[in-house]
Structure 1
Amino acid sequence: MFISRLQETMAGRNGLDKLSITLIILSVILNAFTRFSPIFMMFALLIMFYAIWRIFSKNLAKRREENYRFTHIAGDIKESFAQWQYRRQQSKQYKFFTCPDCRSRLRLPRGKGKINITCPKCGQKFRGKT
C-alpha cells in the first residue's frame, strides 16, 4: 500500500540523484554543528529543504542540468585531489616541473643538481634544480 502510493507520488518527479544525496549529507553534517552555533541549524534546514524540493521537482530538464554541472565540478575536484596526492607520494624520489611553453608536467629524479630539461612534448629547453 505505502510503496505503491509512494511510486504514484514520485512518478514524473526528479527523485534522488548525486546532488540531492550530497545536499542531504551536507545538511546532516551541518546539523551536527548546531550546538556550537545556531546559524548552522538555519543553513542545515535551508539545504535540507532545497534537497527535498529537488527530489519532488517535476522540472526534470533543470534538475538534470544542475546534477550534470555538479557531477562535472565534483569530478574535477576529485581528479585534482588525486593528482595532488600522487605528486605528494612521489615527491621524495622525484621533482615535478612544468614546461613554460606547453604547460605539460614533467617528472625528474631528485638529486641530479642543476640540469637542462628538454620537454618531450614540445622540445622547449629550460633549466631546473632537482
Structure 2
Amino acid sequence: MGRYGSDQLGQFIVGVSIATMVLSLIFRGPVLQILVVLLLTLSYFRMLSKDISKRYAENQKFLTIKGRFFGYFKNWKARNQQRKTYHIYSCPTCKQKIRIPKGKGKICITCPKCKAEFIKKS
C-alpha cells in the first residue's frame, strides 16, 4: 500500500531483462549477468517506490517516446498503402505533401496551403 506498482515502463524493463537473461545463457559472460541483475533491481525499485509522481513522470516520458517510435511505423505503413493508388508530391515552395490519384496524366497541381501551381505526372 502506498507504493507505485507496475506500469508499462516497468514491464518493458522486465522484458528487456528477460531477453538479456536469455542472451547471457547463450553468450556466457559476467557483463550480461550483471546487466540482468541491474535491470531487475531497477524494476523492483520502481515498483516499490513511494515517490509516485516521479515514477509517473518517468512512465509518461517512456510512453511519449514509444508513441513517436510506433507512430512513425504506423504512418509509414499508411503511406505505403496509399502509394498503390496515389502519388504523393511535395509542394516546391512550402513543402506541403499533396496526394494525387494515379492515372490522370500530366496535371497542374495547386497547393492547398500556399496556392502555388506546378505540373506533375500522375
TM-score relative to the length of structure 2: 0.78
Q: CA deviation at 1:40?
A: 3.6
**1:26 aligned residue (16, 21, 26):** 16
Q: CA deviation at 1:55?
A: 0.7
Q: What value does the CA root-mean-square deviation take over the aligned residues?
A: 2.4
**Greater shift in the superposed pair: 27-36 or 79-88:** 27-36
1:44-59 matches, within 5 Å, as 44-59=36-51
Task: Tell me which residue corresponds to 1:8.
Answer: none
Query: Over residues 66-98 of structure 1, what are the superposed CA-to-partner deviations in whole Å (9 max), with x where a residue is unaligned?
Result: 111111111122211110011122223222223
Give the distance between the partners of 1:104 and 1:37, measured in 2 at CA.
52
1:1-130 matches, within 5 Å, as 11-34=1-24, 35-36=26-27, 38=29, 39-112=31-104, 115-130=107-122
Q: Secondary structure at the match of 1:121?
A: coil
Q: CA deviation at 1:53?
A: 0.9
Query: Over residues 95-124 of structure 1, what are the superposed CA-to-partner deviations in whole Å (9 max), with x where a residue is unaligned?
Result: 222335544332222355654432223323
Q: Identity over the aligned pairs, expressed in percent?
A: 36
Distance 1:28 1:129, change over 3 A: farther
Give the distance between the partners of 2:61 and 2:49, measured in 1 at CA.
17
- Structure 2: runs of 5+ lacking an equivalent: none
Number of matched residues? 120
